[in-house]
Amino acid sequence: MPSVFETSTTATPITFVTKSSWDAVRETLPPAQRQFATASAFAAKPGGYLALPAPDGTIAQVLFGLEDDGARSRDPFRPGALPGLLPPGTYRFANAPHDARLAALAFALGSYRFARYRKADSPDVRLVPPDGVAPAEIDRMADAAMLARDLINTPSNDMGPEELAAAAQELAAEFGANYACTIGEDLKTNFPLIHAVGMASDRAPRLIDITWGDSSHPKVTLVGKGVCFDTGGLDLKPSSGMLIMKKDMGGAANVLALARMVMDAKLKVRLRVLIPAVENAVSGNAFRPLDIFTSRKGITVEIGNTDAEGRLVLADALALADEEKPELLIDLGTLTGAARVALGPDLPPFYTNDETLAADVARCAVKENDPLWRMPLWPPYDAWLDSKTATITNAPSGGFAGSITCALFLQRFVEHATSWLHVDIYGWTPSAKPARPEGGECQAARAIYKVLSERYA
């Protein structure tokens, strides 16, 4: 997507106001504009918008309402609503919003439109970069978010394992990274869990493998769940549960977004990206409840539920990643409804036993307005994974602590990495908010990128 930033000496000012500041701001307006604001009943409520006319009929300035400083909650992305409100033109911030950098990012994110299947004109608005804000860094984050959104929003008939692999290959080529892919029956011996989940589809499963950077730099490996559509398998989802399962490759989309930021910023890491790309379909050769498979790591896994397939494909990919003993191993996936029940769609849980990493992730999540919340790898629940006929089950009975037991399952496949971070994202915005249109969403990637940029810039 083209940058929203532009240098201009004639940009229209945007004045941010709150209910508490509005009276003072109104007194500074020329009499005609003051009267126009009064006649328009502008009240400076959060999200309130008013374009004030100049004598020649052009727009003199724009008023936009924000939350008061003492409000119980403030949305730093509130200015992301502006691209959908403003007439075409170039604008500048006349005064400081709550966070100028996040406001500029929100402006860029709010310009996104998914237009692959119907005409959706992108807002023809530009923004003069606020003082102290680096437009290249904002563009980097916005471009990554657009990539993730586009991949998730594309329906599964056009975003199967092959198409996801093609998108990954295109990204690798853009940054001169190495690309490899293991496909179909070639997975059966070394990646049996990935093969088992994907074998029922007529679209062959695959393991995407991208490497980039100087081999002497610290190893950072990203693993993303790439289930391009999830029927639930033989433990079939109801139609309502299947409706937005095109987003079940959201972990892969966000890993690619994160990789894009890392490579574009030229962080001093040896980056590896692993994406198991499959479709969890139903056919005569679909894997079944109580089937047992021997994973890449040698751990035997009993299938307690075929709809807990994401952790299976991640397990083989994590085992491969762990063999290299990376300094940091990160996996993202749209994994459990339990995470949504506990924390809702906007607040993904993350898991790690590295206290320093946990603190860094939590701090950067707040700093980047990319919410995350730490949950425990609670050791007493590990026994719930026990199986009577295999080493572990992929879906313990009972239904308690579903996101935690999923994390504990994945932890079994990580042994040698110095630090491991697991994030259970939703990857979807159910109803539109400023800078976050309804549909596929980039979650956790910006916060993790900020952690990586602080460590490896």
Could you please report the per-residue DSSP string of 241-262?
HHTTGGGGGHHHHHHHHHHHHH
In the numeric block, which tokens belong to residue 126?
Answer: 């530009």
Residue 1 has pLDDT above 80, yes or no: no
pLDDT at residue number 400: 97
pLDDT at residue number 377: 98
- Mean pLDDT, the chain, integer: 97
Do 414 and 420 meet the contact criterion of CB atoms below 8 Å apart? yes
How far, CA to CA in Å, does 417 sit from each of 258, 318, 328, 360, 407? 19, 10, 6, 18, 16
DSSP-assigned beta bridge partners for residue 62: 14, 51
pLDDT at residue number 185: 98
Can 225 be counted among the known catalytic residues? no
- Note the pLDDT tens digit of each residue in 5-47: 999 999 999 999 999 999 999 999 999 999 999 999 999 999 9
Residue 151 has pLDDT above 90, yes or no: yes
pLDDT at residue number 412: 98
Phi and psi, residue 232, nearest 5°: 95, -10
Domains and CATH numbers, the chain: 12-133 (3.40.220.10), 140-456 (3.40.630.10)
Neighbours of 160 (CB within 10 A): 23
Catalytic entry in 237, 363, 367, 455: 237
How far, CA to CA in Å, does 102 sit from each of 20, 177, 255? 22, 30, 22
Catalytic entry in 311, 340, 412, 436: 311
In the numeric block, which tokens belong to residue 270?
Answer: 């040896």
pLDDT at residue number 121: 80
pLDDT at residue number 352: 98
pLDDT at residue number 69: 85
Mean pLDDT over 181-210 rounds to: 98
Residue 399 has pLDDT above 90, yes or no: no
Can 92 be counted among the known catalytic residues? no
Residue 54 CB partners (closer than 8 Å, separation 6+): 60
d(CA 166, CA 150): 14
Residue 378: exposed, middle, or buried by beta-carbon count in 10 A (0-12, 13-18, 19+)? middle
Q: Is 57 left (phi over 0), alpha (psi -120 to 50) or beta?
A: left
Among 281, 259, 357, 278, smallest CA distance to 317 is for: 278
Cα dihedral 405, 409, 411, 415 in deg (nearest 10):
150
DSSP symbols for 66-108: ---TT-S---TTGGGGGGGTSPSEEEEESS--S-HHHHHHHHH
Which pLDDT band, with edges at 50, 70 and 90, does 78 fall under? very high
Residue 70 has pLDDT above 90, yes or no: no
Which pLDDT band, with edges at 50, 70 and 90, does 276 fall under? very high
